[in-house]
Amino acid sequence: MPLKAVITDWGGVLTSPLNDAIGVWLTADRIDVPRYKDVMRAWVRQAYDGAGINPIHGLEDGTLSAAEFERLLAAELRTVDGGPVAAAGLIERMFAEFRPVEPMYDALRAVRAGGLHVGLLSNSWGNAYPRHLFDGVFHDVVISCEVGMRKPDEQIFRHAVERLGLTPADCAFIDDIEHNCRAAEAVGMTAILHTDTSATVGALRDLGVPTV
């Protein structure tokens, strides 16, 4: 059955790589990198293996404010000389180096011009989304904190699909996190694990989706 929609993640797919942005922030704020990695490794593991609740859950589903998340994360971090890390504006500084990946936007415009629906499904970290870039690209935008759900929970995938008036089998889903791709497949979507633009565009072509 031909696909009727492509739904994509934002950070790391339509933006420059997350690790690049984080690396710039760690250097600029003089963060103790091993400590940061230990904290985030534990938080991310908890966020995706279903064991307990942590600040990432709350930030992504909207039950924890961005300001409180910044306070909690800053309290766990130290600078390279053992000093405190400023909490205010922490998220903005973390993602300040995100840049749009224009070839991916071009590919999605071609998908839409080819008659398919195009959707965005993003777990928000209090990000300031460049919504001015979304016009003419997306038929619908689902941001986790705005709907009270988060990837990889099944219900947010179904929610995004239903808002397009489609079924999971109608949709391809693009994400740079394997957990999210596997969750999308579990509800019946076709998943593409994003590693770079050319590979993702090639995967869409292989699925018969019109691209640039």
Do 153 and 172 share a domain, yes or no? yes
Do 12 and 112 share a domain, yes or no? yes
- Are 149 and 155 in contact, with CB atoms under 8 Å apart? yes
Position 211 in a domain? no
86 — phi, psi (to 5°)? Answer: -65, 130
Do 11 and 34 share a domain, yes or no? no
User: For residue 45, what pLDDT is reported?
Assistant: 83
> Which residue segment(s) compose the domain that 40 sits in?
18-94
User: Quick one: which of 106, 104, 105, 74 has its CA closest to 88?
Assistant: 74
Task: Tell me which of 94, 119, 147 is where a domain ends.
Answer: 94
**What pTM value is reported for the model?**
0.94
Is the pLDDT at 1 greater than 90? The verdict is no
Summarised one tens digit per residue, pLDDT across range 33-52 is 999 999 999 888 887 776 55
Task: Tell me which of 36, 62, 94 is where a domain ends.
Answer: 94
Q: Residue written as tokens 């942005």?
A: 21
Model confidence at 117, in pLDDT bands (50, 70, 90)? very high
Q: Residue written as tokens 């053992």?
A: 82
Task: Tell me which of 74, 94, 114 is where a domain ends.
Answer: 94
Position 190 in a domain? yes
